[in-house]
Amino acid sequence: MKVSSREMVLIWITGFVALAGVTYLLVDPQLKEWNSLDTKKQESARQVANLKRLISQAPKWDSKLAEQKKKLPTHPQGKDVTTDLQILIERLAKANGLNLISREAGKETLRGNMYEVSVNCKWDGKLESLTRFLFDLQKEDVILDVSELIISPNEKKVLRGGFVVYCSYSRVPSAGVDKKIETKGPKNDVLSQ
């Protein structure tokens, strides 16, 4: 059987199209994967650049953190500070004409090297009093932070609601807690035994 030149051209074209189709089926998933990897590479490069920028800013943030830590009040280990914090909140509320109906302190929690106590307060008063109270809390700097502020109107143009104040502070070990009592005097003294 003799193949004509026209049939030979058709065989070559058919073979070329079949080879191109098989190549496309094999190469297309690889091209998509390469594009995906290139996108991931570019995103990783952006993240590395951002991280390098943040790392270069570390001294600036460390100094700001040190300034903020200096503003934190310090209390000795074991001292209950919830009463002092509640008195501070009550004093600020009274100074601004805000009536605190109740104050309930939560448990002390350790956050890194800082301690935090939440005080849940119920209140009533005018909007102006609440605004001045919140402003005075902000002036306390890093010590006090208001969260979960709830406001509801009343018939007498007096607002009611509640809020949670988070109080931050640090602790220092109290001196002499682990030391034994030293006394001078005769050995039969009751304190020296």
| pLDDT tens, residue order, the chain (193 aa) | 788 888 889 899 999 999 988 988 888 888 899 999 999 999 999 999 999 999 999 999 899 888 877 878 888 888 888 888 888 889 999 999 999 998 898 888 888 888 888 899 999 998 899 999 988 888 875 577 888 888 888 777 788 999 998 888 888 875 544 333 233 333 333 333 3
**What pLDDT, on a 0 to 100 scale, did the predictor assign at position 142?**
58
Spatial distance between the Cα atoms of 43 and 36, rounded to a whole number of angstroms:
11
Spatial distance between the Cα atoms of 193 and 181, rounded to a whole number of angstroms:
10
Q: What are phi and psi of 184, to 5 degrees?
A: -115, 145
The encoded tokens of residue 16 equal 């070329």
The encoded tokens of residue 180 equal 């034994």
Task: Report if pTM > 0.95.
Answer: no
129, 157 contact by CB (below 8 A) = no
**What pLDDT, on a 0 to 100 scale, did the predictor assign at position 167?**
85
Place of tokens 């005018």: 126
Spatial distance between the Cα atoms of 11 and 101, rounded to a whole number of angstroms:
95
117, 82 contact by CB (below 8 A) = yes
**What pLDDT, on a 0 to 100 scale, did the predictor assign at position 55?**
92
Cβ contacts of residue 3 below 8 Å, gap of 6+? 11
79, 173 contact by CB (below 8 A) = no
Identify the CATH class of 72-172. alpha beta
**What pLDDT, on a 0 to 100 scale, did the predictor assign at position 141?**
58
Beta bridge partners of 99: 124
